[in-house]
Structures are given as structure tokens and as C-alpha cells.
Amino acid sequence: MYDPGARDLRGKRILVTGGAGFLGGAVVETLRRRGCARIAVPRSRDFDLTDATAIDALFRRERPEVLIHLAAVVGGIGANRENPGKFFYENAIMGIQLIEHARRFSVEKTVVAGTVCAYPKLAPVPFKEESLWDGYPEETNAPYGIAKKALLVQCQAYREQYGMNAIYLLPVNLYGPRDNFDPRSSHVIPALIRKALEARDSGSDELVVWGDGSATREFLYVGDAAEGIVAATERYDGEAPVNLGSGEEIPIRELVELVAELCGFRGRVVWDTSKPNGQPRRKLDTTRAEREFGWHAGTSLRDGLRRTIDWYESSAGAAPVNALATGLG
């Protein structure tokens, strides 16, 4: 049921970049459940969001009143290490040009999704939004994190100079059905699920995982993230960035054990300590989200993993895993 106390999005023209992707698809579904029918989802084959001319054509066609920018070039540690320039340039240029066009076309509300990778490597845990500028991000994903963090500066600068209503959200690592399970570019949970299931089905007695298992992560179920983004679109108009997280921090070693259990893999885990752990710890303080727009995550990690594994096992056309080791996102 639509909340009468929130901004009414039902009649708005809403443009969701990345709306055909993992997070974007969940956001579009959430908007539709709210009664929104005028949702535009640009596809990369039709509109290259790194090209200002294509963005201009998109805005002229759709005339959005609300922009939710979720499109991103992302991946786990391996993909970040192989593509630092691409991840920096494409994420920065997409966001900068989209926010500028939102200004030029007088978009009423702009919502930009940042990343937990923007936080300093050694930020105090749990990460508070005030710590965002207190150091350099973890090296393996710093180009991606800095590119996304630059968009926060743009949102705040445009608010100050032009009065633009632009908000910035910081989701923690996401997972769930329809995630990217390609071992060359996936984040830790889909990579682990795929490898554990295929090791189980092939009768393998070992599962190779990057690092030593000591790093910790927080994971947010994609449906919860979508609810948080839509709630912020409806209810939050502030300049300060806002964390979106689950509040559950788990060591990678325990995560691997949980995924193996839920997947029915009974072999041993082999830790490849020649590979990096990534950021030592990740856990967000989500006080601001609950205070400002009444949002908190509702899906436990075990329940979310079970749903994700069930979806993957029932989905068609999963290609065999290749020889790449699992990387940590």
C-alpha cells in the first residue's frame, strides 16, 4: 500500500539508470509495487551513458522528473585490479554527466547510489558517514570508490549553487537473486555460491578462496536495498550522504562456512593467501537512514543466502565455472 506521508511518486516520470540490472531491477519492481507506472529504463545498446550526446537524447525523450542513478561498472577484487582505469573513468563520467543533465533539465529529485568502497581503508568500524573523507580507500578498489565519491561532491556543490535536490546513498555490498555469477567479475557471495554448488555437484573435495578469511564484510539483500533507495526517494531531501546496510558483520571465514553449509558442500576450504583480503573490515552505521526516512533492513543473511541459492539453482543456462579462484568483493 502506498504511504500517504511520503512524496507521491506514482504520477512522476522516473528515469532509472541501470534499471535492467541487478539492483536496478529490484528498484524498478519496488517502484511498480508503489504504483509507479511511468518508469524509463535506458539500455546500454540504445544509450551510452558515457556519451553526453546520448544522455542529452535520453533526457529529451523521457523528460524525467525523478532520476535514480544506479548504473555502474563494478566487480570484485580481481576485476578492480584488472580494470582500474576503466572503473574510474566510466563510473565518474556517467555520474558527472547525468547529474549535469538533471540540472539542465530541471529534474525535481536526483538520487545517486555511491558505494561502501568510497570509505577509507582504516575507517573506524562501524563506518559513519562523517568518516568518509578521513583517509584513502582500500587500494584494490580505490579508483572505483573515488570515482563514485566524487559524485557526492557534485551533488552537494549543485545543491549549494543551483538549489538542486540531489541525495547520495552509500549501500554496502549487495547480494540476492539475479546477481552476477560470472566468476571473472562477480563479488564474493555469488562467486562463493557458484563455486560451492559446482564443487558439490562435481564431487570435488576442496573449495579455493582468496585471502585468509580474516577480513569482515557486511552484506545487504538486494530487495532491502531497493526498499531503502525508494524510501529515500520518497522521504529524504538532505545534503548529507546516507548509509544503507544490514547491521550484520561477518568474517569471510564464517561466510564461506555458511555458504558451504547452505549449498551442501562437505569438502574442505583452501585459503589462497597469495591473494589479497581487500579492506580489513566493513560494517556501516545505519542510524541516519532509520532516523531520516525510517528504513532498516529486514532480511537476515541466512535467509537472504537461502533465497539466492534457491534462485541460482533454479535458474536456467548457468555456464560451468572456470578455473579462476573466488575473489572477495
Q: By the 8 A CB rule, do 46 and 202 touch?
A: no
SS3 306: helix
Q: How far apart are CA 329 and CA 327, in angstroms?
A: 7
- Largest distance between two CA atoms of the chain: 61
Cβ atoms of residues 47 and 162 within 8 Å? no
Query: Pairing relation of β-strands 216-221 and 249-251?
Result: antiparallel
Q: Which of 279, 300, 284, 294 is nearest to 244 (CA)?
A: 284
Using CA atoms, how far apart are residues 314 and 312, in angstroms rounded to an integer? 5
Catalytic residue among 2, 89, 144, 175: 144
Cβ neighbours for 7, distance < 8 A, ≥ 6 positions apart: 109, 233, 234, 235
Among this protein's residues, is 144 annotated catalytic?
yes
Determine the Cα–Cα distance for residues 79 and 155; give it in Å rounded to an integer: 28
What are the backbone angles phi and psi of residue 294, rounded to the nearest 5°?
65, 30
Query: Which has the closest alpha carbon to 150: 74, 64, 89?
Result: 89
Q: What are phi and psi of 259, to 5 degrees?
A: -65, -45
- Enter the C-alpha cell of residue 284: 556501516
Residue 203, phi-psi category: left (phi > 0), alpha (psi -120 to 50), beta (remainder): left
Inter-helix orientation angle 84-104/52-62, to 10°:
40
322 three-state secondary structure: coil
Alpha-carbon gap, residue 19 to 3, rounded angstroms: 23
User: What residue type is 298 in one-letter code?
Assistant: G
Catalytic machinery residues: 144
